[in-house]
Structure 1
Amino acid sequence: MILADTHTHTAFSTDSTSSPRSQIRQAIRLGLQDFYITDHYDMDFPGEEPSFVFDIPEYFRTLEALKEEYRGQICLHIGIELGLQPHLGKRPEELTASWPFEFVIGSTHVVDQMDPYFPVYWDGKTEQQGLHRYFEDMLENIRSFDCFDSCGHLDYIVRYLPSGRKVNLFAEFGDIIDEILRTLIDRDIALECNTAGFKYGLGHPNPHEDVLIRYRELGGELLTIGSDGHAPEHLAYDFSLLPELLKKLGYRYYTIYKDRRPVFLNLNE
């Protein structure tokens, strides 16, 4: 069993209405031992009104109280999912240095001030151009920032292709994906296996199995597992599929973080 979900959201995230308590209670029902709340914090998210940011002092007050309340039933970890953009400079590092987050996901959601979730991102681009630009920006983010522990949903963009086609990432973008994976390994940043790909009907996690295989071939060992669950019914989504899948891909362990330090858990236990 996978006993930790390292990527989940609550109503502190703009795109969730789930209370932290409801998420924690569901995690307990599912038998999870370690549970990470990692709400979205995307500085300079495009739009006229601020979105995908939250009140960090209130976040810590709320989650620290719940952490104590449910102590002995589940180990709650206070994390964050940072949206990375190259122009943000020192701001993400300053944020993570100022607060005692136990785990930080770094994700590329916005490219050239556009989220690929919205059709405007694809205006004037072929899908090939839009995909390549996304991976270019992700590589720059990984090279630029030292403030995160795991790279969230590396192929997030494939969820939102206008054509809905299946993408063979290595056939089309192998060179730049190799560079992304090598950079993660060189910088001791984990790769996330995000099961929302199953929820979105892709038939595979994010990233695709081919990327997970290549990461292992290159020597990558830090692999976090998260559902990206925004509602109780999506927590630990299809985690039952992962132990055998990951072992077939060459993995024997997955990784959780305690106080920003990796801990390896055996897939056979």
Structure 2
Amino acid sequence: MILADYHMHSSNSGDSETPMEEMTLSSIKMGLKEICFTEHMDMDFPLLPGLPPDPFLLDVEAYKNELTYYKEKFADKINIKFGIEIGMQEQVASENTALIKTHDFDFVIASLHLLDHNDPYYGEFWGGKKVEDVLRHYFEETLKNIKLFSDFDVLGHLDYIARYVPEGDHTYSYERFKDIIDEILKYLADSGKGLDLNSNALKSFSYGNSNPSPEAIARFRELGGKIITFGSDAHTPEGVASAFDQMRDIALNAGFTEYYTFEKRVPTAHNL
């Protein structure tokens, strides 16, 4: 059993309304021994329908104060870590780096949620575009951004964009984009950075696969990748640790025997 969920959100993130206490109580009920809140910080987020301006600007101090309260309250039941999910964009790389340097996070996820300052979550994003070109551009931008913003521990949901391709489209596969994905994986492995093994799409999206795909996870191992973390990407209590049994099998089949937790950015290995 995986005992640590290292990718979850509460109402401190712009896309969750769930109080931190509810997420924590759900984690305890699920039998987890450790969790890491990784609240969203996406600077320079575009103005989109139905969203307020800057919906993912995180009040880091308020977030930390709340987390510290629950960390102490539930200290005899679960270990709560102070994490963040940084939204990468080229124009805010220096601001992201400065933010990380000025706070004592336990763990940092770097994720690419936007492409050319647009959100692939919205159906109109895909209008008039060739899916294959969009996917390749997304991976190219991922490689560029992990080099521009290097102060992170794991790359979040590597093939995240595959969740949002138009319904019924089957363009994406690891093999089809192997050349550019391998560049990303090799850079991560050579830099001592890890992968967020994200189970969200296994239960919540018609895409129905892990992010990254099992093939990409196996390739990371082949290229010397060592660090993996397990994350449900939960925004509600029922999502905590979702599909972790499937994610564990994927990791074992890829050749991994350990997963990692973090404290003050220092990784600790645990047996799978």
Q: TM-score, normalized by length of structure 2?
A: 0.95
Show CA shifts across 1:164-185 (max 9, x none). Answer: 3334523321100000001111
Check conservation: 2:210, 2:247, Cα contact below 8 A. Answer: no
Cross-structure match for 2:223: 218
Equivalences for 1:1-269 in 2 at 5 Å? 1-47=1-47, 49-199=53-203, 200-267=205-272
Check conservation: 2:39, 2:83, Cα contact below 8 A. Answer: yes
Instruction: Please provide the CA RMSD for this pair.
Output: 1.3
Q: Distance between the aligned counterparts of 1:167 and 1:250, measured in 2?
A: 27
1:201 Cα shift?
3.6
Show CA shifts across 1:198-253 (max 9, x none). Answer: 12243321111110111111111111110000000000001122333321221111
Counterpart secondary structure, 1:89: helix
Q: Distance between the aligned counterparts of 2:193 and 2:250, measured in 1?
A: 22
Check conservation: 2:174, 2:213, Cα contact below 8 A. Answer: no
Counterpart secondary structure, 2:7: coil
Counterpart secondary structure, 1:31: coil
Counterpart secondary structure, 2:84: strand
Amino acid at match of 1:204: N
Q: TM-score, normalized by length of structure 1?
A: 0.96
Check conservation: 1:114, 1:120, Cα contact below 8 A. Answer: no
- Equivalences, count: 267
Check conservation: 2:10, 2:20, Cα contact below 8 A. Answer: yes
Q: Distance between the aligned counterparts of 1:166 and 1:69, measured in 2?
A: 47
Check conservation: 1:82, 1:104, Cα contact below 8 A. Answer: yes
**Structure 2: stretches of 5+ with no match in the other structure:** none
Q: Distance between the aligned counterparts of 2:253 and 2:38, measured in 1?
A: 29
**Structure 1: stretches of 5+ with no match in the other structure:** none
Check conservation: 1:10, 1:230, Cα contact below 8 A. Answer: yes
Relative to structure 1, the CA distance from residue 248 to residue 171 in structure 2 (aligned partners, 3 Å threshold; closer, same or farther) is closer
Check conservation: 2:7, 2:234, Cα contact below 8 A. Answer: yes
